[in-house]
A = this chain, B = another copy of it.
Amino acid sequence: MSRAHATFEIAVDLVVLTVRDGRLAVLLIERGNEPFRGRPALPGGFLRAGEDLLDAAARELAEETGLRGITPDLRQVATYAAPGRDPRGRVATVAYLAILPDLPVPTAGTDAAIARWAPVGPGPDGLAFDHDRILADAVEHARRLLEDTPLATAFCREPFTVAELRGVYEAVWGVALDPRNFHRKVTGVPGYVEPTGDLRSLPTGRPAALFRRGPAEALYPPLQRPRRSLPAPQGD
């Protein structure tokens, strides 16, 4: 059997998302080496011998964020292997999506690079390699997952209020949601959130009930993001 096929290095890149100050943010590092030295990039690293993809993603996440013992759900998003995407040679990268609650600080410096939260905007961010594209794909993936999975609770520290959960949806989808309808829908999905029985007082307003994640792995009925496909009201 011929062995004439090209060989590759395989990297795992992480799209770590959180919500900070009501805005969606992504964990970025500053590249310390060529290529793209000094440019922001997604954290990631190479797959090691004997290591599976998910293990590598979890290892990189721990190294970049300093998180230990926490196992956030990591979801594979897509794989990119275009020739020329890495000037060093043939490198394929598998992108993973991770969702974290708003941490005090990314605990940078654990590894080689400086990590920081950067707001996710609508346009490109000038990231290294093809990381703009990877980020966009991952964000779109997260937006879809919010609709029919309990992923949004991964953005929140427990216990959380309905308003905090609503803030997650608003930040990720980039839309404003009606607090009353949102409350009705979230509390109406079986197994999505469970009341702890406690309340939390904010600097203003009526105290809010606290919730924890429920056992549901899929949301039914789903929380659909607003669609614009209105029937184009007949002018006149």
**Chain A contact residues, CB within 8 Å of chain B:** 1, 5-10, 33, 46-53, 76, 78-83, 90, 92, 94, 190, 220, 227, 229
Which residue from B78, B81, B83, B227 sits with its C-beta under 8 Å from A220? B227
Complex contacts, A90 vs chain B, CB 8 Å: 49
A10-B92 in contact given A48-B5, A53-B81 (Cβ < 8 Å): yes
Number of copies: 2
| B229→A190 contact, CB < 8 A | yes
Chain A interface SS verdict (over half): loop
A10-B8 in contact given A76-B78, A79-B76, A79-B94 (Cβ < 8 Å): yes
Can you list 6 A-B contacts (CB < 8 A)? A5-B48, A6-B46, A6-B50, A7-B7, A76-B78, A190-B229
- Expressed in whole angstroms, the minimum distance between the Cβ of A74 and any Cβ of chain B is 13
| B9→A7 contact, CB < 8 A | yes
| B227→A6 contact, CB < 8 A | no
Given contacts A76-B79, A81-B94, 8 further A-B contacts (CB under 8 A): A5-B49, A7-B7, A7-B9, A8-B92, A10-B81, A50-B83, A53-B81, A76-B78
